[in-house]
Amino acid sequence: MKTASIPAPPRRPAARGLAGARRGPHHARVSRAPRFLILETGRPVPSLRRHGDFTHWIRTAADLSRERVEVSRVLDGERPATASRYAGVLVTGSGAMVTDREPWSEWTAGWLGEAAAAGVPVLGICYGHQLLAHALGGRVDWNPRGREMGTVAIELHEDARHDPLFHALPARFHAQATHLQSVTTPPPGAAVLARSALDDCHAFRWGASAWGLQFHPEFSTTHMRGYIAARRDALSGEGLCHRRMMASVRPSPAARRLLHRFVRHAAHRHG
């Protein structure tokens, strides 16, 4: 796929609905030598917050020190600095829904579209995956196959063989997932890299350095089991057995390696 043939992402309002948005004190503390930016779009379920926030989970899984990470809590109205300041941008998951078109989410979509178009390496996870697809002209909606949760089998498409992040992964591997919405139509020009039994677009790449992952490479088995436990009533109402799902949770080292590959890819491009 040639990057030059990819259409530019649709322009979105730069700050509609975010009057008075702010940067938190943590922004100033770590901004002296930032390398990677994490856009925090949500928080873990309450029972798992003792393990830290999504930023901590991603930073730990990616082996990024605190000094190499800057955080912008866009969910709370914080605005990140210009994307070109960073080696790469990672976008967390969230309990929010992209289809709700919340002002903070739409503003972030506009920022992400501009970052991706500028060639800044971007990795969106779960909600971040969906928001990136939305920003680049794709479609996000309720998954017509229903909730996907637990350790799921991911199968790679042919395009993954030549992808900077996916090329060394096995054709089939396991990953942790929990979502109700999906990318139902990938962005124009995107390469779909992976699928599962319940989601045809579990990963995509747009251009040379913008990726979306529906699954959670940062999740440990503790995180996954904690989410299943937190959703047990909803699962029961959908005819799913949370105990059986819990028992099937297994480690997903191949999925986690994608975080390390993204960090290396972004750092190399940044020089």
Q: Are strands 148-156 and 172-179 parallel, antiparallel or unpaired?
A: antiparallel
The per-residue pLDDT for range 114-134, each reduced to its tens digit, is: 999 999 999 999 999 999 999
Paired with 252 in beta bridges are none
Q: Which of 40, 126, 129, 265 is catalytic?
A: 126
Q: Would the pLDDT of 16 be above 60?
A: no
To the query of whether residue 270 is one of the catalytic residues in this protein, the response is no
- The pLDDT, as a whole number, for residue 32 is 46
d(CA 211, CA 125): 9
The per-residue pLDDT for range 207-220, each reduced to its tens digit, is: 999 999 999 999 99
d(CA 81, CA 148): 34
To the query of whether residue 201 is one of the catalytic residues in this protein, the response is no
State the burial class of residue 184 (Cβ atoms within 10 Å of its Cβ: 0-12, 13-18, 19+).
middle
- The pLDDT, as a whole number, for residue 240 is 96
With a pLDDT cut of 70, the percent of the chain lying above it is 87
Q: Which of 27, 129, 179, 216 is catalytic?
A: 216
Give CA separation, 113 vs 63, 95, 262, 266, in Å: 27, 21, 18, 17
To the query of whether residue 126 is one of the catalytic residues in this protein, the response is yes
Q: Would the pLDDT of 4 be above 50?
A: no
Which pTM value belongs to this model?
A: 0.88
